[in-house]
Structures are given as structure tokens and as C-alpha cells.
């Protein structure tokens, strides 16, 4: 059912260790001590889900689904609750995953334009480097646009990633108009028959309003030249910020029509339950997850792999 290979799966399991302890560890302890499946047990399960950054709304939905499953296929004893919970969590995540069935293949449009947004420090540039490398490895011609012209070192950092990935880069001097950089990149990609353009953006400007206005402008300017673009707007969120990620998702969705989420830094946080809150509350697919700083630590998100890694001791 999953899409990860053995190495990827063990990396995911390792990255989810703290979330597993916080979420499934607590659930398992509650189940182990319980004599029977009753209302008291179900309430304690719901509380433990809320405590693991799943969010109250989604925890309620999971419990509703779990109650239905308990009624439809009653387990012989309390130990049968955990597999049903895993099934329910998997089904809550349905719809998440990469935009193509083949996780690092590109949908047909050429050039395929991906705009990457998110607040400062969440891992946008790193994610772009990792994605670029995967697309190059799959035989694509990749162009990265350095539209974060605000932060001094942003361009250099992106150049290093582009070189490492074997991707081209369009870069202008600090302070240049980000929308112009994006426009030039899309024009160059069209002329050079590039397969994919990935646009890096600033995470911080003088004010948040400025940032949102700038993202709107980038989107407008690209669409004027190439109406179907950007084909994907990826919002990068840092998993360790937990429920705060939901606020960011609302803010960026309103400004830039987010189409998918990349959840970074799942390694080392206990707040991995936020995946559920994002996928359900925001109705946005989680496309990729970051489980480390290395170039191979960006994984396509798979609900089946994720829950298996989470629920397996
Ligand atoms: N552990 C871990 N670290 C990550 C992951 N993704 C990114 N990082 C680290 O997070 C830090 C910030 O990453 P950047 O890619 O520079 O973040 P950014 O969003 O581009 O930041 P700004 O350009 O300042 O807005 C770096 O030290 C990355 O190595 C991840 O999945 N796991
Ligand atoms: Mg950056």
C-alpha cells in the first residue's frame, strides 16, 4: 500500500520516533491498562489525540470513525482497538500525497511551474534543493528562480543547492523585484524547453502584509505570461510549530492559492500529529515531508506509510 522503499521507511520510522511516543505510546498505555472498551476509555483516547497536536476537531472526527468501526467490526478485546485506530487515521489522510502517482514524476504541463511559499526558516530553500535533485535524477531539466531577493545570503544558498542538484538558476541582485525574477525564469524556461521551474520566495519582508502582497504579485505576473501557472503552490510548514502551522496555512492560502503542503522537520518533533490537522482542517493535501537535513530526506507523503511508521512499535 505504501510507496516508500525499505530505507525510506526506516528513515521515516526513525524521524517519527518522538511523535510515535507522544501519540501512539500514550494510546497504547491507555489501552494496556483498560479492562474493557467503554465510554471512559474512548474519552481518554480522544484526550490523548488532542494532546498530540491532532487538534480537537480532527480528534473528534477520528473518534467518530473509530466508534463506527468498533460497532461494525467489534474486536474481541481492548488490544483490537489500536489496529482500528490506525485504519481510521489512514482514512482521514486520504487525498494527501504527491500530485502524480509516481511520486517524483511531473504532471504533463511544460514548463511545470512550482511556487514555494512559507514563513522564514521553515525549510523552503532546502526543500527546493531536495526537490530539484529528485526531478533532475528523474531526467528532467530543472530551473530554480531565486525570487527571495530580500535576505542577503538567500541567493548564494540557493546557488549551492542548484549546483548540487544539477539545476539551472535565475538570479538577480539583492533587492531586485521578486516578481520580475519569477517572470524572467518562466520566460527562460519556456525558451529553453525546461521541464520544471521552482520559485523560491522570501519568508520575511518588512511586514507580513508586504509579504502577502508580494506573493500575490508574483502569482499575477506569472499568470499574465502563462495563464495556467503556477501549477502548484507549495506551502512549507515546520512541523515542530504544531498548531501554529494552521494559522500560517490560512494566511498563505488567502494570499497565494496554496495547492499543497510540505511539512518539514518531522524528525525530532513530537508534534507530527499536525499532519492530520493540516490535511483535514485545511483540506490541503500533504505532498512531501522532510525527515532530515540531507538531500534524500524529503519523502513523498503516503498516508499508509505514515500511519504504519507511526503505529509500528
Ligand atoms: N531536521 C530538519 N531540518 C530541516 C528540514 N528541512 C529544512 N531543515 C533545516 O532548516 C533550516 C532552515 O532551512 P531553509 O531552507 O534555509 O529555510 P527557508 O524557509 O528557506 O528560510 P528563509 O529563506 O529564511 O525564509 C536549515 O538549517 C535546514 O537544514 C527537515 O526536514 N529536517
Ligand atoms: Mg530560503
Q: Closest by alpha carbon to 302, among 108, 291, 46, 63?
A: 291
The alpha carbons of the chain give a radius of gyration, in whole angstroms, of 21
Residue closest by Cα to atom 13 of ligand 1? 123
CA 121 / ligand 1 centre spacing (Å)? 5
CA 191 / ligand 1 centre spacing (Å)? 32
112-301: CATH topology is Rossmann fold (3.40.50)
The whole-angstrom separation of Cα 223 and Cα 217 is 10
Q: 2 versus 286: which is more confidently predicted? A: 286
* Residue appearing with cell numbers 489501552: 31
Give the count of beta carbons closer than 10 Å to the beta carbon of residue 257. 14
Share of the chain above pLDDT 70, in %: 100
Residue closest by Cα to atom 31 of ligand 1? 290
Residues 6+ apart with CB under 8 A from 128: 116, 144, 158, 161, 198, 200
Across 54-63, 221-230, 257-266, 274-283, least confident range: 274-283
Nearest atom (ligand 1) to Cα of 204: 25
Read off φ and ψ for residue 192, nearest 5 degrees: -90, 5
Residue 311 burial (C-beta neighbours within 10 Å; 0-12, 13-18, 19+): buried
| Secondary structure (3-state) at 44 | helix
The model's confidence at residue 312, banded by pLDDT at 50, 70 and 90, is confident
Residue closest by Cα to atom 10 of ligand 1? 123
Residue closest by Cα to atom 21 of ligand 1? 121
The whole-angstrom separation of Cα 269 and Cα 119 is 18
Question: What's the farthest any 2 CA atoms get from each other in the chain?
Answer: 69
The model's confidence at residue 258, banded by pLDDT at 50, 70 and 90, is very high
Q: So what's the pLDDT on residue 1?
A: 63
Nearest atom (ligand 1) to Cα of 122: 19
The whole-angstrom separation of Cα 179 and Cα 186 is 11
Pocket test for ligand 1, best of 293, 294, 296 (most atoms within 8 A of CB): 293
Q: What is the pTM of this model?
A: 0.94
Residue closest by Cα to atom 25 of ligand 1? 120
Ligand 1 — pocket residues by CB below 6 A?
A: 118, 120-126, 148, 151, 154, 203, 264-265, 267-268, 290-293, 297
Q: Where in the chain is the domain with CATH 3.40.50.300?
A: 112-301
The whole-angstrom separation of Cα 64 and Cα 85 is 11
Q: Closest by alpha carbon to 266, among 313, 305, 232?
A: 305
Give the count of beta carbons closer than 10 Å to the beta carbon of residue 152. 9
Give the count of beta carbons closer than 10 Å to the beta carbon of residue 43. 11
Q: Closest by alpha carbon to 143, among 177, 99, 192?
A: 192
Average pLDDT over residues 8-28: 92
Q: Are 164 and 197 in contact (CB under 8 A)?
A: no
Question: Ligand nearest 292 Cα, by number?
Answer: 1
- Quick check: 238 pLDDT over 80? yes
Residue 138 burial (C-beta neighbours within 10 Å; 0-12, 13-18, 19+): middle
CA 245 / ligand 2 centre spacing (Å)? 18
CA 123 / ligand 1 centre spacing (Å)? 3
CA 157 / ligand 2 centre spacing (Å)? 8
Q: So what's the pLDDT on residue 268?
A: 86
6-92: CATH topology is 1.20.120
Read off φ and ψ for residue 196, nearest 5 degrees: -145, 140
Q: Where in the chain is the domain with CATH 1.20.120.140?
A: 6-92
Residues 6+ apart with CB under 8 A from 243: 53, 55, 274, 277
The model's confidence at residue 27, banded by pLDDT at 50, 70 and 90, is very high
CA 236 / ligand 1 centre spacing (Å)? 10
CA 202 / ligand 2 centre spacing (Å)? 6
Give the count of beta carbons closer than 10 Å to the beta carbon of residue 101. 8
186: preceding bond cis by omega (within 30 degrees): no
Backbone CA torsion sign across 122, 155, 287, 138: negative
Amino acid at each position: 500500500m505504501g510507496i516508500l522503499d525499505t530505507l525510506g521507511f526506516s528513515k521515516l520510522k526513525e524521524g517519527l520516533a518522538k511523535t510515535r511516543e507522544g501519540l501512539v505510546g500514550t494510546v497504547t498505555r491507555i489501552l494496556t491498562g483498560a479492562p474493557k472498551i467503554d465510554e471512559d476509555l474512548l474519552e481518554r483516547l480522544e484526550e490523548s489525540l488532542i494532546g498530540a497536536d491532532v487538534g480537537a476537531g480532527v480528534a473528534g472526527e477520528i473518534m467518530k470513525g473509530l466508534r463506527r468501526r468498533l460497532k461494525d467490526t467489534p474486536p474481541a478485546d481492548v488490544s483490537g482497538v489500536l489496529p482500528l485506530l490506525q485504519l481510521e487515521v489512514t482514512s482521514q489522510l486520504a487525498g494527501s500525497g504527491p500530485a502524480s502517482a509516481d511520486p517524483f514524476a511531473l504532471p504533463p504541463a511544460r514548463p511545470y511551474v512550482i511556487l514555494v511559499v512559507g514563513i522564514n526558516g521553515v525549510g523552503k530553500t532546502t526543500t527546493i534543493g531536495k526537490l530539484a535533485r529528485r526531478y533532475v535524477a528523474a531526467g528532467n531539466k530543472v530551473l530554480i528562480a531565486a525570487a527571495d531577493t530580500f535576505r542577503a545570503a538567500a541567493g548564494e544558498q540557493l546557488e549551492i543547492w542548484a549546483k548540487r542538484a544539477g539545476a539551472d538558476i535565475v538570479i538577480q541582485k539583492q533587492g531586485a523585484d521578486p516578481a520580475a525574477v519569477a517572470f524572467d525564469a518562466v520566460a527562460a524556461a519556456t525558451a529553453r524547453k525546461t521541464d520544471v521551474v521552482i520559485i523560491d520566495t522570501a519568508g520575511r519582508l518588512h511586514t507580513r502584509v508586504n509579504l502577502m502582497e508580494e506573493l500575490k504579485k508574483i502569482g499575477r505576473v506569472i499568470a499574465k505570461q502563462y495563464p495556467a501557472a503556477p501549477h502548484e503552490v507549495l506551502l512549507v510548514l515546520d512541523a515542530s510549530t504544531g498548531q501554529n502551522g494552521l494559522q500560517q496555512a490560512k494566511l498563505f492560502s488567502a494570499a497565494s492559492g496554496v495547492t499543497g503542503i510540505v511539512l518539514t522537520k518531522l524528525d525530532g518533533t513530537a508534534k507530527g500529529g499536525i499532519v492530520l490537522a493540516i490535511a483535514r482542517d485545511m483540506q490541503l493535501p500533504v505532498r512531501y515531508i522532510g525527515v532530515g537535513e540531507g538531500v534524500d530526506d524529503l519523502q513523498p507523503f503516503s498516508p499508509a506509510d505514515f500511519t504504519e511508521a507511526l503505529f509500528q512499535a
